[in-house]
Structure 1
Amino acid sequence: MGCSSSKQNVIDFARGNEKDFHERFVEEEVLGQGEFGVVKQCMDLHARDGDDNKHLAVKILRKGITWKDNTLFMPIKPEALKLECGILKDLGGRHCILELIGVWESPSNLYMVTEQCDGGEMMQYVAKAHNEGIHTEDVSRIAMELISAVNHCNDHGVIHRDIKPENIMFQRSEPGSSLRLIDFGCACRDAPDPAVPNSQDPSRHTTFAGTPFYISPEMFQRNYTHKTDIWSVGITLYVLVAGYPVEQLQKAFNLLQSSDRNLRDLPGMPKDELPDSFFEMLHKMLTYKHKIRHSADQILPTEFIKLHNLSESAPTDEHLDTLGPLQPSGTGKKRPNLLVSTAYRHSAYLAYETFERSVTALLAAVLLRTHLDELVKKLSKPVVDDQSQDTSSNSDTANKMRLQVIQVQQLKKALQEINQTECAEMINNLPNAASYDGYAYHWKLLMQFTEEQSNKTSSYARQAELDNSMGRRTRSLLTLRKAQKDALDLSDHGGQHAANAQRKRQNNLQDNSSVHGSSMFDGLKRKKRNAKKKDVLNSSSHF
């Protein structure tokens, strides 16, 4: 592995070079790998014993074009590196924003050292730390910390644009742990519009970014302000208390994207256990018209945000002590309750997420590129048929275009219709496959393996280009590596169908249309001639 060329320094506030980095830090276990680099735990030799910052995380990014296992990886654009590092530096690790300890840079590598969060992402944290249920006081604390982070971003002219459970991590896996908003790879600066001097209106933006289920209506219309982050926080808090509604995902999305809906009717919502103040807060966040939607500083003083008592692990920045008087709800209050089903629903979704990634890895590993292209084209057919319609409307058709999901049983039917019955059988042989037939499969996951992902039928396919920040890619690629191995290994237990499909695959390795030729699974193509599937998958180092 090596870089074909080295680059000039791109971070003007770097604290030193590669030698300086290694004089201060000792690299430890690998936390994640991706095509752009690796994330490791590191130990700060300058920190004293017992210091909270003794063990940190370092993201090592390769700056040049990289050859690895006969695969070409293009570098991250210097502008993107500058923006993400600059934003983290400006935010200063305050108000529940991930703290950037420093950046070190060599001609070929960039070392981003941050605090380490051991509590996991939001769903993992709730499932583990609150396995018997989460109290409304804890929901209140999480809401306060997240809104505080967004308010801090607003104060510094930053729009995150991809707030969701996967981008919220917790410092420790225990109740009361403070959260951190991470992954500013989709973020942008929110500078005042120079064409409108002294304007009091928020700046407008048109670049599409984010994850569909958490995206505001105005983001889909490509005419949004910093209040798009407030919408995403509202959806995230809905998922916090109700779980990710994968069994009724399209229904939930349709309701959320409608201007006429009752938030208590959202799938999975524990409406009897939550106080009225929660729904009042949520309504202010999910107001359809962004011009009248509340901003972060207007939501911080609301009753539900004040429900909890600030603990030692909660933010202690000065403005949290001066949030202003409590705004009364004007409605009846309920005593804080235990949301018993929340942890179970998060655990159930995490199990399904493993299944979904196994399906994606299986399809990428087994189908030829021509077949994969055919499948994606078939799944996106409603998008093609409805391109002439107004995609800013709230119709169910427009929302299907936006969300890009299909039921697992419909995915298997589509495979059968393109004469890939054996592949559908391999999916059936995965653990608990029968239980997931009605669940939503995010077919956009397949687009990263298609030949022309940037020119696919839907204009929303271009959002895949925005999903390449190191943090998110590292987590997803690690999971896909394990999922690919598990998917093919487990599908073999189903019998002759999997064996036949694999022999068919091996007989076509010389076909230049193979999906592995230019994808992260390129290593499979080179080695399948002389190795068993299990050995091949274990040897792939694209992750």
Structure 2
Amino acid sequence: MGGVCSSNKSIIPDLVSGDEDDYRSIFIEGAVLGEGEFGKVRVAHLMNFDADDGGPPTSVPYASKVLKKGMTFRHNTIYTAIKPLVLYNECKVLRLLAGKRHCLKLHSLFESPRNIWIVTEICEGGDMIDWLSKQGGMLKTEHVSRIIFQLLDAIDHCHSFGVIHRDVKPENIMFKSSDVDSQLKLIDFGSGTIDKDEALRYAGGLEEQERVTNPDDLLHHTFAGSAFYTSPEMFKRTYTSKTDIWSVGVTSYVVVAGYPADNLQNAFNILQKRKRDLRTLPNLPKDLPDEYFTMLDDMLLYPHRNRKSAKDILQYEFVQFQREMNDFLPDIEIDGIANDTTGDGDLSNSSRKRSNIKSQSLDASVVRHSLYITYRIFERAVASLLAVMLQRRDFDDLIARLTKIKDEKETSEEGKRSLQALPIYKVKEVLISMNKKEIVTFMEKLPNAASYERFVFRISLLRLFSQKNDLVDKESELDDSVDVHIRKAATEKKNSVVAQMKKTISADRLQVIGEELDRSGHSESRNSVHGNNVWEKWKCKA
């Protein structure tokens, strides 16, 4: 059973390229690339039926995401639509940035009364963590330099147009291919903002020289982002575009050290201190060059007003090191800053001073990224297990207990900035205190469960399920008879799933569930067209 509550009102009237008929007249859809909470992403082949040589039709692959405009009901679960303002904002930012300088390129937008199609360039290399995990034996210092260079280039492009991304993290960085020399693309502008004055200038179609020249002077107060990558000033809700530089700094740490899931709060506390030695961050490779830490210190400078801009950091020695290691310049897509990044306008390698940085292998970093991917599957399988096996009251009680324990723990010295995450062994202790030892037994059957005892479990994953449950408890656009049917069907389905699990659950079964969940997406945010769907993947397999 499925349904959708649609609306004839256009969400993106001034950005749309056509309607559904227009979309299907030029694109032929192919394989599903992924499925999110708000819709599916497919390969869409842009067809050319009028070849000059009279040959067969040709095509160019793109990524097409179809979003339901209204509330949907699938697999006995109600899903709210993405907020129109969020969708409009993201599409407008993509149009504004025009796919230049390592920002995702928007090809076209199509809208019908029920759906919206967002067509972008295709990125087949996966997100940053996925991509890094595939680089065994190949990842070196110069590749890290190139990643940071391209990411800073994207941020500089955003800031020059008054755009603050506000959620820079590995999950929002995609790679065009799995090759070690692949370009990256910054995605997911759903949490971003355009300064109001700049938005007015953009709407008026002013020339490039009339863009914002110093967006750092513009203060903002709306919280956005993912906690581990969030700047101190963002927590205080008084920030500028420099908050993105902080997030790039934390991402630069994760690139070489891996996501510190086994030591997350400690890493977070070090990052959030005013005075700290960044060399003490967990899992950093040995013998990283001093130039890397010079760059990292300046990106993670605590007073944001003293923090360097992306344009400044693009000139740092470590960031420029990737050029020295190439016999040719990479395709960096820079419009207007090439002279700034070299200082003298000469882009030849021979004109630059040789760096003291040495190329070194970072295989240990690749291993840690691979380990985190396997843990991510485990973590999502645990979240699904808890959501299915616990009754609603017990599920909410578990969230409350975990949150209380977290709030009582020591936080960073700069204020109450404790991450909403607890070690797996603590989650198990709480479940036992609730007389839910049976669930703990199931958790321990998961592959490699014993290895993850001290890895942190994100409470936010449970809140995703809780939010979906809340939808059924609220007044909806559906009539009462349909609402009653939904409640009854959802309850019967959950009871059936629990009964089946108790009879047939196994480690292999849970491994498959975790892998399916992981393919559905990584982001905890519901603020973007790139959002994920955790609950549905479990239901489809149950």
TM-score, length of structure 1 as denominator length: 0.78
Q: Does the C-alpha gap of structure 1 residues 149 and 332 become closer, same or farther in structure 2, counting only changes over 3 Å? A: closer
In structure 2, distance between residues paired with 1:360 and 1:69: 18
The alpha-carbon deviation at position 317 of structure 1 amounts to 2.5
In structure 2, distance between residues paired with 1:268 and 1:61: 40
Q: Is the 8 A contact 1:430 1:490 kept in 2?
A: no
Query: In structure 1, what is the equivalent of residue 145 of structure 2?
Result: 140
Provide the identity percentage. 39
Q: Is the 8 A contact 2:62 2:120 kept in 1?
A: yes
**Residues 1-10 or 340-349, more deviating:** 1-10
Residue 87 of structure 1 pairs with residue 93 of structure 2: yes
Q: Does the C-alpha gap of structure 1 residues 315 and 13 become closer, same or farther in structure 2, counting only changes over 3 Å? A: same
Query: Which whole-Å deviations, capped at 9, do the CAs of 1:352-408 have from their partners, x for residues lacking one?
Result: 11111111111111111111111111111146659xx9x89525xx232xx111111
SS of 2:24's partner is helix
Residue 229 of structure 1 pairs with residue 235 of structure 2: no
In structure 2, distance between residues paired with 1:353 and 1:343: 15
In structure 2, distance between residues paired with 1:247 and 1:65: 38
The alpha-carbon deviation at position 450 of structure 1 amounts to 2.5
Please tell me the residue identity of whatever aligns with 2:62.
L
Q: Is the 8 A contact 2:216 2:240 kept in 1?
A: no
Q: Is the 8 A contact 1:192 1:202 kept in 2?
A: no
Query: In structure 2, what is the equivalent of residue 266 of structure 1?
Result: 281
Q: Does the C-alpha gap of structure 1 residues 399 and 80 become closer, same or farther in structure 2, counting only changes over 3 Å? A: closer
Q: How does 1:211-290 map to 2 (within 5 A)?
A: 211-272=226-287, 274-290=288-304
Q: Does the C-alpha gap of structure 1 residues 490 and 235 become closer, same or farther in structure 2, counting only changes over 3 Å? A: farther
Residue 170 of structure 1 pairs with residue 172 of structure 2: no
Query: Which whole-Å deviations, capped at 9, do the CAs of 1:109-139 have from their partners, x for residues lacking one?
Result: 11110001011111111111x2115211111
The alpha-carbon deviation at position 539 of structure 1 amounts to 5.5
Q: How does 1:30-69 map to 2 (within 5 A)?
A: 30-46=32-48, 54-69=60-75
Q: Identify which of 294, 308, 321 aligns with 1:294.
A: 308
Residue 373 of structure 1 pairs with residue 391 of structure 2: no
Q: Identify which of 154, 159, 164 aligns with 1:159.
A: 164
Q: Is the 8 A contact 2:160 2:215 kept in 1?
A: no
Query: In structure 2, what is the equivalent of residue 209 of structure 1?
Result: 224
Q: Identify which of 401, 420, 433 aligns with 2:449.
A: 433
Query: In structure 2, what is the equivalent of residue 363 of structure 1?
Result: 386
Q: Identify which of 112, 127, 148 aligns with 1:121.
A: 127
Query: Which whole-Å deviations, capped at 9, do the CAs of 1:329-350 have from their partners, x for residues lacking one?
Result: x999332211120111100111
SS of 1:61's partner is strand
Residue 316 of structure 1 pairs with residue 333 of structure 2: yes
Q: Is the 8 A contact 1:97 1:181 kept in 2?
A: yes
Please tell me the residue identity of whatever aligns with 1:9.
S
Please tell me the residue identity of whatever aligns with 2:506.
H
Count of residues paired in the alignment: 464
Q: Identify which of 494, 501, 505 aligns with 1:492.
A: 505
In structure 2, distance between residues paired with 1:452 and 1:72: 7
Please tell me the residue identity of whatever aligns with 1:68.
R
The alpha-carbon deviation at position 189 of structure 1 amounts to 1.1
Query: Which whole-Å deviations, capped at 9, do the CAs of 1:169-199 have from their partners, x for residues lacking one?
Result: 10010111000001111111134599xx999
Aligned-pair Cα RMSD in Å: 3.4
Q: Does the C-alpha gap of structure 1 residues 523 and 439 become closer, same or farther in structure 2, counting only changes over 3 Å? A: closer
In structure 1, distance between residues paired with 2:241 and 2:96: 17
Query: In structure 2, what is the equivalent of residue 338 of structure 1?
Result: 361
Please tell me the residue identity of whatever aligns with 1:21.
Y
Q: Does the C-alpha gap of structure 1 residues 126 and 52 become closer, same or farther in structure 2, counting only changes over 3 Å? A: farther
Query: Which whole-Å deviations, capped at 9, do the CAs of 1:238-259 have from their partners, x for residues lacking one?
Result: 0000111111111100000111
In structure 2, distance between residues paired with 1:366 and 1:301: 54
TM-score, length of structure 2 as denominator length: 0.78
Please tell me the residue identity of whatever aligns with 1:203.
L
SS of 2:62's partner is strand
Structure 1 segments unaligned to the other structure (5+ residues)? 455-483, 496-519, 525-535
SS of 1:204's partner is coil
In structure 1, distance between residues paired with 2:298 and 2:74: 49
The alpha-carbon deviation at position 260 of structure 1 amounts to 1.1
In structure 2, distance between residues paired with 1:138 and 1:169: 15
In structure 1, distance between residues paired with 2:429 and 2:76: 36
Q: Does the C-alpha gap of structure 1 residues 331 and 422 become closer, same or farther in structure 2, counting only changes over 3 Å? A: farther
Q: Is the 8 A contact 1:241 1:270 kept in 2?
A: yes
Q: How does 1:464-483 map to 2 (within 5 A)?
A: none
In structure 2, distance between residues paired with 1:171 and 1:377: 41
Q: Does the C-alpha gap of structure 1 residues 488 and 256 become closer, same or farther in structure 2, counting only changes over 3 Å? A: farther
Structure 2 segments unaligned to the other structure (5+ residues)? 200-211, 345-352, 471-496, 509-532
Q: Is the 8 A contact 2:162 2:215 kept in 1?
A: no
The alpha-carbon deviation at position 14 of structure 1 amounts to 1.0
Q: Identify which of 377, 383, 399 aligns with 2:417.
A: 399
Q: Does the C-alpha gap of structure 1 residues 118 and 427 become closer, same or farther in structure 2, counting only changes over 3 Å? A: same
Query: Which whole-Å deviations, capped at 9, do the CAs of 1:510-537 have from their partners, x for residues lacking one?
Result: xxxxxxxxxx78889xxxxxxxxxxx84
Query: In structure 2, what is the equivalent of residue 352 of structure 1?
Result: 375
In structure 1, distance between residues paired with 2:434 and 2:6: 43
In structure 2, distance between residues paired with 1:422 and 1:105: 48
Query: Which whole-Å deviations, capped at 9, do the CAs of 1:53-86 have from their partners, x for residues lacking one?
Result: 8111001011123233443332222211211100
Residue 72 of structure 1 pairs with residue 86 of structure 2: no
Q: How does 1:446-465 map to 2 (within 5 A)?
A: 446-450=462-466
Q: Does the C-alpha gap of structure 1 residues 275 and 523 become closer, same or farther in structure 2, counting only changes over 3 Å? A: closer
Query: In structure 1, what is the equivalent of residue 21 of structure 2?
Result: 19
The alpha-carbon deviation at position 107 of structure 1 amounts to 1.6
Query: In structure 2, what is the equivalent of residue 473 of structure 1?
Result: none
